[in-house]
Structure 1
Amino acid sequence: MVDRTVHVLSAGTALPGQPVDTEALADRFGMDRLWVQWVDTFIGTRTRYLALDLETGEPRESLADLATAAATTALARARVSADDIDLVVLGTATPDTLMPATVNVVADRLRIDGVPTFQLQSGCSGAVQTFDLATSLLSTGRYRTALVLGGDVIAKHYDVTTDLRTLPPEELVNYVLFGDGAGAAVLSTEHHPTSPRIRSVLTRLAGLDRAPGQVLQWYGLADRDSARAPAQEDYKAIEERVPELADEVARELLDDLGWEHQDVDWLLPPQLSVTMTERIAERLDFPKAQEITCVGETGNNGNALLFFQLERLLDRIVAPSRAIAVAIESSKWIRSGLALELDGGV
């Protein structure tokens, strides 16, 4: 029997500019100290990175810029070249353009050609979906090495002239939670004893008859002056649903592999905000697992988050180790996750 186990060889990430702390947001938008304290207490995110000039609103970096940088790092760490890549998959909720697909712009910049490319339109679960699609294709034996990417540039929806004091909570929260960034990973069917193998990947739509928890608009010329809010979030619904869905993902992954909670050494929980991450990790209750979280520093940069967590995991994991990662999309409720194992076998 041919072994087509998929290994995660490397991860790379990219962030735009310098970190923007909550005090800088408050100064720019005229918010007071009480607002800063509210963010610190109920959100917990300390900094985020924005791909625009906060003073002028001018864009500085695109998703393609960030994804290319992250991919370049991942390829170098994996010691593979663009010529070694057999397929490319990008997950994002905020492509640079509807056409051409951002994944193809990135591939072109990396000098990758003549291979299948896929762009998955999705929220935070899109990162896991790239692994789902890539591992499925790699397991057919037709391909050997895949480049998977995830990222979002949400700041392009910012109006830096907005008076935040006039915004309803479902719009205001987006200025605090989100940031921009991109990540990449190299997957391979070649055996690498120092690289964790993917044991299971799960993505499931869970939004039947449920209203979206988040809406991100796309404006064309015909409706560019629409009064619709560019981004809205039902934070109360997310607070209620995301921990529940995360628990379902973790249990399904464990059941699939026959693992127990105490068998897991590393936990990569959903990264909506610091306070939500703490709440979810407590509910998941992995008693031995070390938690890898990044949202306090990076902000919620959507499909990039899993790659920032993987980058940290790969720097620290030693055999034998088992890891569980969970990502939940609240736009139409998708639960997703993956399980990794490093056993150090030859």
Structure 2
Amino acid sequence: MIRAKITGTGSCLPEKVLTNFDLEKMVDTSDEWIVTRTGIRERRIASEGEYTSTFATQAALRALEAAGAKAEEIDLLIIGTLTPDFPFPATACIVQQNIKAVNAACFDLSAACSGFIYALSTAEKFIRCGQAKKALVIGAEVLSRVVDWSDRNTCLLFGDGAGAVVLEAAEGDHGVLSTHLHSDGNYWELLYQRGCGSRNPASQKNLDDRLIYLTMQGNEVFKYAVRAMGEVGLEALTTNGLTIGDVSLFIPHQANQRIIDSVGKRLGIGADRTYVNLGRYGNTSAASIPIALDEAFRAGRIKDGDVVLLDAFGGGLTWGAAAIRW
């Protein structure tokens, strides 16, 4: 059987660090309040002249180097993002130019924080059906540009960065075992960016009304996230005849420590088998899982034959999981 096997990982984060103590000077909050409720201590923020494509490019190059692959060998390049450089062209096309992936078909995919899982699932299908042999899948965000820095309910949550994987067609039982995607558009208003689309286009009034920034009903999102991530995680395992005990490492979307803990409890996966970097980076949306995956692999947390479970939830509402045998 042909599977899509991860042969390289990479990530890139801004150098600029914004700590909770920095935020105390900007909005009415405190380090203790933020850590207690979210688990976040600091996040990385893009500097002037840095864009989503900046971090996506570097993450891609590092993944290619790790895979021992050349950019011209890539025939599919997908970026999961809700903060592209421009509404169009796709940021994937900009990254294509940057890394010289001249033979790749390129597009962006929007599924908010589930974006990387959706992009991974799409690339895996291309490989399984024989339409691609080597794919580059990236999750990349510069959320600091769509966050209202006067809103303490949201500004403390998000950070910037990118992660990437190289997928290659391979025979055998190693690779992406299955992916599982779900959506519920009935609740799209719980988490969305109000402005800059066709409904509320760029205008001085919409700028004055702060519609360019994202808005979230955090408590409602929390409830849906815990249930959905728990269910789809079990779905991925059950589909492949796996049990919780078979999982070597669980990498959930890094949104909130309480969500991660609650999902782990539902699944029966303890902290010792869960990779968390939320405290250092905050919620990087579609970038969070590939950044964590790259860190975990380079730290020796993932070894040949390990079963890795990826699990995400985002605006839309969207959620998804992937079971991978390394």
Corresponding position: 1:101 with 2:90: yes
Map 1:14-93 to 2 at 5 A.
Answer: 14-27=12-25, 29=26, 31=28, 35-52=30-47, 59-93=48-82
What does residue 55 of structure 1 align with? Answer: none
- Length, aligned pairs only: 318
Structure 1 residues 66 and 192, CA gap change in structure 2 (3 angstroms): farther
SS at structure 2 position matched to 1:100 = coil
What does residue 100 of structure 2 align with? Answer: 111
Give distance in 2, aligned partners of 1:174 and 1:288: 26
What is the CA deviation profile of residues 160-214 of structure 1, one whole-angstrom value per residue up to 9, with x for unaligned ones?
5xxx4xxxxxx42221110001111100013599xx5111111111x15335321
Letter in structure 2 aligned against 1:97 = F
SS at structure 2 position matched to 1:328 = strand
What does residue 168 of structure 1 align with? Answer: none
Give distance in 1, aligned partners of 2:278 and 2:12: 14
What does residue 338 of structure 1 align with? Answer: 322
Give distance in 2, aligned partners of 1:247 and 1:99: 35
Letter in structure 2 aligned against 1:275 = R
Map 1:136-285 to 2 at 5 A.
Answer: 136-158=125-147, 164=150, 171-190=151-170, 197-205=175-183, 207-219=184-196, 220-222=201-203, 223-229=205-211, 230-285=213-268
Give distance in 2, aligned partners of 1:81 and 1:255: 36
CA contact (8 A) 1:246 1:284 kept: no
CA contact (8 A) 1:246 1:270 kept: no
Q: Per-residue deviation at 1:225?
A: 3.0
Give distance in 2, aligned partners of 1:277 and 1:285: 12
CA contact (8 A) 2:73 2:101 kept: no
SS at structure 2 position matched to 1:189 = strand
Structure 1 residues 96 and 218, CA gap change in structure 2 (3 angstroms): farther
What does residue 56 of structure 1 align with? Answer: none
Which range is displaced more, 269-278 or 102-111?
Answer: 269-278
Letter in structure 2 aligned against 1:280 = V
CA contact (8 A) 2:2 2:172 kept: no
TM-score for the superposition, normalised by structure 2: 0.91
SS at structure 2 position matched to 1:277 = helix
Stretches of structure 2 that go unaligned for 5 or more consecutive residues are none
Q: Per-residue deviation at 1:310?
A: 1.3
Structure 1 residues 197 and 24, CA gap change in structure 2 (3 angstroms): same
CA contact (8 A) 1:264 1:288 kept: no
Larger Rg: 1
Structure 1 residues 172 and 80, CA gap change in structure 2 (3 angstroms): same
CA contact (8 A) 1:11 1:184 kept: yes
What does residue 296 of structure 1 align with? Answer: 279
What is the CA deviation profile of residues 37-92 of structure 1, one whole-angstrom value per residue up to 9, with x for unaligned ones?
2112111201101113xxxxxx3410011100111111111111111111101110
Off by >6 Å, runs of 4+ in structure 1: none
Stretches of structure 1 that go unaligned for 5 or more consecutive residues are 53-58, 165-170
Q: Per-residue deviation at 1:266?
A: 1.1
Give distance in 1, aligned partners of 2:58 and 2:78: 16
SS at structure 1 position matched to 2:189 = coil
Structure 1 residues 320 and 221, CA gap change in structure 2 (3 angstroms): closer
Letter in structure 2 aligned against 1:40 = V
TM-score for the superposition, normalised by structure 1: 0.86
SS at structure 1 position matched to 2:322 = strand
Which range is displaced more, 96-105 or 307-316?
Answer: 307-316
Map 1:295-314 to 2 at 5 A.
Answer: 295-314=278-297
CA contact (8 A) 2:112 2:316 kept: no
Give distance in 1, aligned partners of 2:274 and 2:110: 28
SS at structure 2 position matched to 1:124 = helix
Give distance in 1, aligned partners of 2:192 and 2:108: 20
What does residue 310 of structure 2 align with? Answer: 325
Letter in structure 2 aligned against 1:23 = F
CA contact (8 A) 2:138 2:162 kept: yes
SS at structure 2 position matched to 1:306 = helix
Which range is displaced more, 178-187 or 277-286?
Answer: 277-286
